[in-house]
Amino acid sequence: MEVKWSRNFEKGLKKLNKDIQQKVRDKLKLFLENKKHPSLRYKKIQALKNEKPPVYEISIDMRIRITLQEFYDHIYLRNVGGHTILP
């Protein structure tokens, strides 16, 4: 599946240190292999559940998360960072 990212995702990723950036890449790879893996804590964001398609989050660690949307032909990475990225 193709992965696309927003300008916000790109900016957020650049703000993270190199170790966290590597964790982001590793977790995205895991997500593409098995989105139901327990370490991802993959869930719908309730405040954005009415978006089409709904917005989900995956956890990189206990502080950092990625918000995303799944379309039929690609995954759109909306943002990456701490809880402040959530609505």
Q: pLDDT tens across 2-26, in order?
A: 999 999 999 999 999 999 999 999 9
Rg of the chain in Å (alpha carbons): 12
Residue 25 φ/ψ, nearest 5 degrees: -60, -45
Is residue 28 assigned to a domain? yes
Task: Provide the CA 6 distance to its chain's centre, in angstroms.
Answer: 11
| pLDDT of 1 | 81
Task: Please tell me the predicted confidence (pLDDT) of residue 86.
Answer: 59
Q: Within a domain: residue 87? A: no
| pLDDT, position 55 | 95
Report the number of distinct structural domains present in the chain.
Answer: 1
Instruction: Tell me the sheet residues that pair with 69.
Output: 55, 76
Instruction: Give the structural domain span for 24.
Output: 2-82
Which pLDDT does position 5 carry in this prediction?
96
Contact 30, 39 (CB under 8 A): yes
Rounded CA-CA distance 87/72 in Å is 24
User: Which CATH number goes with the domain that contains 58?
Assistant: 3.30.2310.20
In this predicted structure, what is the pLDDT of residue 82?
Answer: 87
pLDDT in tens, 53-87: 999 999 999 999 999 999 999 999 999 998 766 55
